[in-house]
Amino acid sequence: MNFRILIKLLKETFQEWQGDDASSLAAALAYYTSVSLAPLLIIVISIAGAVFGEEAARGEIVSQIQGLVGRNGAELIETAIENANQPQISNFASIISIIILLFGASGVFAQLQKSLNKVWEVEVKSEEG
pLDDT digits (tens, 9 = 90+) for 10-49: 999 999 999 999 999 999 999 988 888 878 888 888 889 8
pLDDT 10s digits, 59-85:
998 999 999 989 998 898 888 877 777
Q: Which of 73, 122, 80 is nearest to 97 (CA)?
A: 80
CA distances from residue 13 to 6, 28, 29, 51, 125 in whole angstroms, order as listed: 10, 21, 21, 48, 28
**CB burial readout 51-71, b (16+ within 10 A) else e:** eeeeeebbeebbeebbeeeee
The C-alpha atoms of residue 106 and residue 129 are separated, in whole angstroms, by: 24
**Predicted confidence (pLDDT) at residue 128 exceeds the cutoff of 70:** no
